[in-house]
Amino acid sequence: MGVFPYQSPLKIYNDFQPVAQYLSRELGRPVLVETSPSMERFVEQASRQRYDIVYAGLSYYIQLREKAGYRAIATVVRGDASSRRGALLARQDSGIRTVSDLKGKKVGALHPDAVCGYVLQRQLLQEGGVNPDRDVEFVFIGKLDSIIFSVLNRTVDAAAVDLSELAGKERGIVDKMRVLAVTPEVPDFPIAVRKGLNGGIVERIRLALIQARDSSVLAPFRATAFEPARDSDYDALAALIRKSP
């Protein structure tokens, strides 16, 4: 099982051990956890179909789907939602009230590959009459907390954030922010399998995930459950990512 390196390799390895142990019991065969020191290396390894099962962020999953034929079989559910969306935020007292007010401003964002923390917000800017390549300066900050505090400290004028990540922040911090626009919903992170994996094993993996109730299995995904997914659930997102520079 390959897990995209959203944290240190050692932390991922340790956090996902209960997942590997659970799947090993359910499948009757050993499941090992692997990750990589970088996103680039992870995509390279997965593209060679090193991993039978993959857990990856949205843009990386779309890459693996198109490069190596991985297909989604389950989706993370957080709370009661199996989707996520992004937003553009500014300080309440900044004078920025609409997307069009962002012309000439700095916008803090997560990473160029972050679907709900950059890619979808480019579309919001275009819809608001703002050219994302010429009219704003994106500053890639890398962590949600750092992005939010950069807005509060006026290092940047606005933020491109994933609303599902913002939900857990302190109410006092959130109350200081104004939501300028919200993106359409997209499916949450998928669990996918490699092309050619035995169909019977695929269904057993899917069933094991859907039936998972142990908090130690769900916690590494920050999930409350999993639900079945089809690869076609991600078609619209794939089309959008293809259009993004």
Tens digit of each residue's pLDDT (9 = 90 or more) over 220-242: 999 999 999 999 999 999 988 88
Query: For the chain, which domains are there?
Result: 2-81+186-243 (3.40.190.10), 86-182 (3.40.190.10)
- Residue 130, pLDDT above cutoff 90: yes
Average pLDDT of the chain is 92
Beta bridge partners of 193: 53, 71
Q: State in Å, rounded, how far the first CA of the chain is from the last one.
A: 30
Q: What is the pTM of this model?
A: 0.86
- The per-residue pLDDT for 169 is 63
- The per-residue pLDDT for 29 is 95
- The per-residue pLDDT for 168 is 63
Please state, in angstroms and rounded to a whole number, the distance separating the CA atoms of residues 86 and 165: 9
Q: In the 8-state DSSP scheme, what is residue 203?
A: H
Task: Indicate the burial class of 29 (C-beta count within 10 angstroms; 0-12, 13-18, 19 or more).
Answer: exposed
